[in-house]
């Protein structure tokens, strides 16, 4: 079972509010990711990080920002939430590829609704 | 054309059926292959993992990778209603590369 946690699990918030979605993993993985997924739709990579002080934008443009100050922690922030940000946000981490190993594990997700 | 294609589309089968899910890909550098199961409104759960070509079996699940054809499959034997979920294939070329996901196949196993 993957040891990757996300809080809150559900969040309903008004337009214009600043929000931070938390993600932590206890597996010691260097690489972490944020995906956005609308119901019944594909996963879209919005941010990733190779390690502390590393952040990169993913394939899907996002108004959110991320930070990586500690290996185990990769929070995502929206400075001013809008209804278009309503979605499920999934955090993931992966092992370092070595030989035959390179796997990615997901957290349970945060379902965000912006009114 | 997408880098990873997945078929079939939404699938409904009777309980006990054998299910075959497939993905094709275009990037010959991929060497790590995964199958995830995602229940509605949950995060994807790693189901099977295969490195390079070959078969891997775990209980009722078998994953096959054919790198020469750029084709991977997941077989589910004796399918159960609890197998009803969306199945995602994913692949990667290595640590410096991100994972590429298929669009998913929604499976319904009818009692």
Cross-chain Cβ contact B94/A105 below 8 Å: no
| Model confidence pLDDT, tens digit, residues A14-67 | 999 999 999 999 988 999 999 999 988 899 999 999 999 999 999 888 899 999
How high does pLDDT run on average in chain A?
A: 92
Instruction: Read off φ and ψ for residue A18, nearest 5 degrees.
Output: -90, 135
Confidence at A2, pLDDT banded by 50, 70, 90:
low
Token pair of A71 as six digits: 């290996």
Given a cut of 90, whether residue A100 has pLDDT beyond it is no
Q: Which of B32, B43, B94 sits opposite A106 (nearest CB)?
A: B43
**For residues B44 and A93, what is the distance between their CA atoms, to the nearest angstrom?**
12
Q: Is B101 close to A42, i.e. CB distance below 8 A?
A: yes
> Residue A101 above 80 pLDDT?
no
pLDDT at A35: 97
pLDDT confidence of residue A6: 97
pLDDT value of position A99: 61
What percent of chain A is predicted at pLDDT more than 70?
93
Residue B37 confidence (pLDDT): 97
Interface of B with A in 18-47 (CB under 8 A): 32, 34, 36, 41-46
How confident is the model at residue A58, as a pLDDT? 92
Weakest mean pLDDT among A9-13, A14-18, B5-9:
B5-9
Give the A window 13-32 contacts with B, CB below 8 Å.
Answer: 31
B25 vs A91: CA distance, rounded Å: 24
Question: How far is it, in rounded angstroms, from Cα B49 to Cα A97?
Answer: 13
Q: Is A46 exposed, middle or buried (0-12, 13-18, 19+ CB in 10 A)?
A: buried
Enumerate the β-bridge partners of residue A44. Answer: A36
- The encoded tokens of residue B94 equal 């290595």
The DSSP annotation for A10-42 comes to EEEE-TT--EEEEEEESS--SEEEEEEE-TTS-
> Chain A within 8 Å of B14 (Cβ-Cβ)?
no
- H or E stretch at A80: none
Asked whether the beta carbons of A24 and A92 are under 8 A apart, the reply is: no
Contact list in A for residue B49 (CB cut-off 8 A) is: 103
pLDDT digits (tens, 9 = 90+) for B69-102: 999 999 999 999 999 999 999 999 876 788 999 9
User: Which residues of chain B have a CB within 8 Å of the CB of A105?
Assistant: 46
């Amino acid at each position: 079972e993957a040891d990757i946690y996300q809080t809150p699990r559900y969040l309903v918030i008004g337009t214009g509010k600043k929000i931070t979605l938390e993600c932590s993993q206890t597996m010691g993985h260097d690489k972490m990711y944020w995906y956005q997924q609308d119901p019944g739709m594909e996963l879209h990579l919005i941010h990733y990080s190779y390690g502390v002080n590393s952040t990169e934008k993913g394939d899907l443009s996002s108004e959110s920002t991320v930070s990586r100050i500690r290996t185990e922690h990769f929070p995502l922030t929206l400075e001013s939430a809008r209804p278009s940000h309503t979605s499920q946000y999934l955090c993931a981490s992966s092992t370092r590829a070595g030989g035959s190993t390179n796997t990615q594990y997901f957290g349970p997700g945060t379902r965000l609704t912006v009114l | 054309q997408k880098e990873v294609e997945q078929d079939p589309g939404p699938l409904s089968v009777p309980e006990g059926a054998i299910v075959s899910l497939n993905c094709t890909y275009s990037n010959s550098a991929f060497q790590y292959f995964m199958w995830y199961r995602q229940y509605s409104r949950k995060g994807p759960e790693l189901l099977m993992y295969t490195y390079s070509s070959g078969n891997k079996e775990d209980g009722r699940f078998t994953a096959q990778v054919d790198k020469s054809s750029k084709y991977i499959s997941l077989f589910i034997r004796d399918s159960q209603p609890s197998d009803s979920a969306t199945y995602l294939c994913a692949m990667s070329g290595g640590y410096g590369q991100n994972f590429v996901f298929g669009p998913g196949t929604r499976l319904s196993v009818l009692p």
